[in-house]
Structure 1
Amino acid sequence: MQIRFLGGAREVGRSAILVNDRLLLDYGMQSGTPPQFPVDSVDPDAVVASHGHLDHVGLLPALLSGDRRPPIHWTPPTRDLTRLLATDTLKLQGMAPGDHHKWNDRGGRYDCPFTHTEVARLGEVSETHDYEESFDAAGHEVTFFNAGHIPGSAHVLVDDGDTRLLYTADFNTEDQRLLSGTTARPDADIVLCESTYADVTRPDRATVEEGFARSVTQTIHEGGTVVVPAFAIGRTQEAMLVCDAHDVPCYVDGMGVAVTRRFRETPGFLRDPDAFGRACGHARFVDASTRNGQRRRIAEKQTAIVTTAGMLAGGPAMTYVPAIAGNPQHKVAFTGYQVEGTPGRELLETGSAELDGRHRRVAAQVESHDFSAHADRDGLLSFLDEYRGSQVLVNHGDRCADFASELRGDGYDARAPELGADIRV
């Protein structure tokens, strides 16, 4: 089996793996100005998408330019989320129907990776599959297994007749309220394993949840408001479920509202659809057309406000956080990792950040709760323990080579391919 690493090797972002020059696993982008895309050009016979996060599916519409129409295989939630993300990408770049490029605000010019035309074509090439339902893709037998990361996320097992490759993609071994942790361990000769949190050991989820609920409840009871910046996909819905379970009043704003609607349409991919329905009934959703003046009035209520963006890089959070910033009675409670260089990271470390174009000192309390949907070090090692006789290829992490070296020291046949590597296994 030939495996070519076009993205996601020794890095987090722009995941793209080409198998036997025919089958493409994921095709993501790394957000930024300009964004980063997978290396080299690619023209696959078929595409398999593991899950609906930007760094795994953000560039998929670009594969449908010109006469190219490779089928895209995914679960129903991944299909829905990919289209939602693509539409949001066009919106953020100021792309109107018929536009093919934009001037960036720093004076440069870069090509938009796709247009509304390519996004519309996603429906033409879509082929959806359930978990453990094998299908053919570019001459390979492919099977999805529940990865426990976000609704619809999948481990991807690829069998070319000689070799079985398990592409773990992003996964979680611990139960969340939204999803159960993955228990799938299909036989494989090669395991291409993510390593995002290979150096992190987290408290169990129940402990994290209790700490979050206790902190938010205390602030509300003392007359404060809690802004909960959260990623739209997965984290917003987990926060909703936690708020409902602990009777914390909450509003939900931003892209997470649309994502929540999509998840309600595919209940079979949720851990507990009834609990999810109750959480939706408990939350108050803010309409996308709501004006910032109304948002500032919501910020005056004693409540939790779950809102994008999770790292304060835009979205309604740019109204809510400034609205509570001057009062130490209020609180900003992050729910996920804050990447270096983001306003969220700066706020955590310094108590100030650039918010909506203005650098502000924040008097409100700031704290972080780790609701990550990735396996931590213990989860990765417990998962890989089932594959001691397989070859392990480590990707999707900031310290892939170090983790591969640690695995070799424990008896694994492990390595961390570099970006652009083309290997035969």
Structure 2
Amino acid sequence: MHLEFLGGAGEIGRSALLVDDRLLLDYGVDSGDPPRYPVGTPEPEAVVVSHGHLDHVGSLPTLLSGADRPSVHWTSPTRDLALLLVKDTLKLHGGTYDCPFTEAEVARLTQVSVTHRYREPFTVLGGAAGGGYDVTFYNAGHIPGSSHVLVDDGETRLLYGGDFNTADQRLVTGTTARPDADVVVCESTYADTDRPPREELERRFVESLEATRWEGGTTVVPAFAIGRTQEVMAICAEHDIACYVDGMGIRVARLLRQPRNEPFLSDSSVLRRACANARFVDGRDGQRKRIAAKPTVIITTSGMLHGGPAMTYVPEIRTHPANKIAFTGYQVDGTPGRELLDTGSAEIDGRVVPVSAQVEHYDFSAHADRRGLRRFLDAYRDATVHVTHGDRCDSFAEELSADGFDASAPAVGESIRH
């Protein structure tokens, strides 16, 4: 089995792994400024997708720009979320370098889509003479529909870990799958971080929301649209905290409530209750300014203050110290969210202004932390491990090697034969 790392190696973003020049695992984008795409010009016969985040699906339509029509295999939530994201990219950036595909290519993506359930093996590229791959999806515990991807060519069993979490969340249970594998491609996003127990983090978050509301303040909760918004909604519902929800997270919640997607939730009633507890915002007629003036909780995109409805709410609440901005995810260096955390100021409408509202950070990450990664990899001490999807892949690979693993951190563009 020949592996070529086209992206996501030694970095976070544009994940793409080409197997034997035939089978492509993920095809994402690094949505920075400017965006970066996987290297090379792969022409796969089939594509298998681990989950529906932009850094794993954002470049998929470009594979359909020519005469080729590779089949695309994924779970139903991954398909729905991927289509939502690429259509949104087309709407925002169509016709520019930030969107290297057209509406026609997005339409073709729906035509080649094939969905699968967890633990139900399927064959890709196999004919009467064989030569294909047996593929199985396993729950990865990251977001609804996220998968570990096991690829078996009859000689080598490759486990492409995707993004995964070993801890339970409100919507999905942590991964317990440990299928036999000879080669493991493992993420390392939080390889140097040990997070507190989820219960403790939720308790502090809920206490903060309630304290702000009791003091007459408004809390804006910037949250990623996929997974994080719905998790925070579920936390609020569990503790009877009324909340407003704004941005793409509303569409994601509705997609996940579709009957075809509910089997990928640990308990579909959790999301139903979360939606019933929340008030969805459509943003018409000055609605957002009126909401921001209330002592309430507002869950809104964008999670790093890149834009979106959050940048309507933050200016409205920034001047009063009784108000609060509660981040729920990692803030990448150079983003407005990171700037606000580090300096107490934020860029709003093209100028940097001070923020008197309180600023807090709660790491509700959907990635495994260092302990979770090590627990997962303990099952693969006899396998070859390739460390990817992280800022410090080399150091984690060195740590694993010192502990007896056959581990390495490939570079983008590197090819390895097994």
Q: Which TM bucket (shorter chain)?
A: over 0.9
CA contact under 8 A between 1:292 and 1:319: conserved in structure 2?
Answer: no
Matching residue within 393, 401, 410 for 2:403: 410
* 1:329-340 matched pairs, under 5 angstroms: 329-340=322-333
- 2:278 aligned with 1:283: yes
CA contact (8 A) 2:35 2:98 kept: no
Map 1:102-117 → 2, pairs under 5 A: 102=96, 110=97, 112-117=99-104
1:239-278 superposed matches below 5 A:
239-265=232-258, 266-278=261-273
Deviations 1:185-215 (Å, cap 9, x if unpaired)?
0000011000000000000100000000000
Residues 58 and 82 of structure 1 are in contact (CA less than 8 Å); yes or no, is this contact kept in structure 2? yes
Asked if 1:132 is matched to 2:119, the reply is yes
Is 1:154 the counterpart of 2:182? The answer is no
SS at match of 2:205: helix
* Dislocated runs of 4+, deviation >6 Å: none
Cross-structure match for 2:80: 80
Q: What TM-score, normalized by structure 1, do the two folds share?
A: 0.95
Percent of residue pairs identical: 65
**Residue 63 (structure 1) aligned with residue 63 (structure 2):** yes
Deviation track 1:49-102 (CA, whole Å, cap 9, x = no partner) reads 000000000010111112121000000000000100001111221x2xxxxx33
Partner of 2:295: 302
Match of 2:216 in 1: 223
Change (3 A) 1:409 1:111: closer
How far apart are 1:291 and its partner, in Å?
3.2
Describe the shift of the 1:218–1:326 C-alpha distance in structure 2 as closer, same or farther (beyond 3 A): same
SS at match of 2:123: strand
CA RMSD across the alignment: 0.9
Q: Cα distance 1:376–1:292, how it changes in 2: closer, same or farther (>3 A)? A: farther
Corresponding position of 1:123? 110
Aligned letter for 2:398? S
Q: Which runs of 5+ in 2 are unaligned?
A: 126-131
- TM-score, structure 2 normalization: 0.97
Find the counterpart in structure 1 of residue 189 from structure 2. 196
Give the length in aligned residue pairs: 410
Looking at structure 2, the residues matched to 300 and 259 of structure 1 have their Cα atoms a distance apart, in angstroms, of 26
One-letter amino acid of the counterpart of residue 40, structure 2:
D
Counterpart selection for 1:327 from 320, 324, 327 = 320
Name the SS for the 1:367 alignment partner.
strand
Shift of the 292–2 alpha-carbon distance from structure 1 to 2, 3 Å rule, reads: farther
Amino acid at match of 1:127: V
Cα distance in structure 2, aligned partners of 1:208 and 1:378: 17
Using the TM superposition, give the Cα deviation of residue 111 of structure 1 relative to its aligned residue in structure 2, in angstroms. Answer: 7.0
**For the residues of structure 2 that align with 1:413 and 1:32, how far apart are their CA atoms?**
33
Paired position in structure 1 for 2:138:
145
**1:105 aligns to what?**
none
Aligned residues of 2:34 and 2:98 also touching (Cα < 8 A): no
Contact 1:314/1:356 (<8 A) preserved? no
Matched AA of 2:67:
D
Provide the residue aligned with 1:35 in structure 2: 35
- Say yes or no: does 1:349 pair with 2:336: no
Segments of 5+ residues of structure 1 without an aligned counterpart are 96-100, 103-109
CA offset digits 1:99-137 (Å, max 9, x no partner): xx33xxxxxxx3731011111111100000000011112
**Counterpart check, 1:359 vs 2:346:** no
Among 167, 175, 184, the residue aligned to 1:174: 167
**Residue 24 (structure 1) aligns with:** 24
Give the Cα–Cα distance (whole angstroms) in 1 for the partners of residues 270 and 357 of structure 2.
32
Instruction: Give the match for residue 107 of structure 1.
Output: none
Q: Deviations over 1:247-280 (max 9, x none)?
A: 1110000000000000001111111111211111
DSSP-derived class of the 1:305 partner: strand
Give me the whole-angstrom Cα distance separating, in 2, the residues matched to 1:83 and 1:275. 24
Q: 1: CA distance between counterparts of 2:353 and 2:3?
A: 47
Distance 1:308 1:422 in 2: 38
Other-structure match for 2:129: none
